[in-house]
């Protein structure tokens, strides 16, 4: 008797940004990852902040409705040299998380270091290395844009680490330096 194929889990990865929010959708069936879709939600730089946030929110609501993810992973905002830029990025991230929780999706959060470690093998990887590894891991015919690659990498990190821990209980555990403690 042949074993049943594992049921795929659809994961939406998000790389938040006010100008361009990257998204990537993958399926995970057992240890196999498959590309579904990716792209960017671009907001008008000349628009007001509330209008730009609405663009991100509406775009993600449409992506969720179109692809039906079961889980989501979002990159955690890093502290920028410019505090104003950090605040704006945080608002874009808030819009993204709002879209996810409104759709009742479980949301996992990963630092850029954790994402790079999961995809490339070390946390100091360059953007080009992340793009190349995402293309390789998902067997893409070309290299995705930097924002889309970061979002796909976030989904891959979730598939490998957050999602792939299987029956390991993470209740009461926390992450330190990219490791579960």
Q: What's the pLDDT score for residue 1?
A: 63
Which residues, other chains included, contact 172 with Cβ-Cβ below 8 Å and sequence gap of 6+?
A: none
Confidence of residue 58 (pLDDT cuts 50, 70, 90): very high
Active site residues: 15, 75, 147
pLDDT in tens, 100-145: 999 999 999 999 889 999 999 888 888 899 999 999 999 999 999 9
Q: What's the pLDDT score for residue 106?
A: 96
Confidence of residue 5 (pLDDT cuts 50, 70, 90): confident
Q: Is 60 exceeded by the pLDDT of residue 164?
A: no
In terms of pLDDT, which residue wins out, 37 or 31? 37
Confidence of residue 14 (pLDDT cuts 50, 70, 90): very high
As a whole number, the mean pLDDT across the chain is: 87
Q: Is 60 exceeded by the pLDDT of residue 29?
A: yes
Of the candidates 8, 32, 12, 21, the residue with the CA atom closest to the CA atom of residue 148: 21
Model pTM score: 0.86
């Amino acid at each position: 008797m042949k074993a049943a194929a594992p049921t795929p889990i659809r994961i939406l990865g998000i790389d938040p940004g006010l100008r361009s929010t990257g998204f990537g959708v993958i399926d995970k069936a057992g240890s196999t990852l498959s590309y579904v879709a990716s792209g960017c939600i671009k907001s008008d730089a000349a628009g007001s902040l509330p209008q730009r946030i609405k663009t991100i929110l509406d775009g993600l609501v449409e992506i969720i409705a179109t692809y039906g993810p079961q889980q989501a992973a979002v990159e955690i905002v890093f502290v920028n040299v410019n505090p104003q830029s950090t605040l704006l990025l945080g608002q874009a991230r808030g819009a993204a998380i709002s879209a996810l929780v409104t759709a009742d999706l479980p949301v996992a959060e990963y630092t850029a270091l954790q994402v790079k470690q999961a995809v490339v093998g070390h946390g100091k990887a360059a953007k080009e290395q992340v793009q190349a590894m995402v293309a390789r891991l998902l067997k893409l015919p070309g290299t995705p844009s930097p924002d889309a690659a970061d979002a796909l990498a976030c989904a891959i990190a979730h598939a490998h680490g957050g999602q792939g821990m299987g029956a390991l209980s993470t209740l009461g555990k926390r992450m330190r330096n990219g490791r579960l403690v």
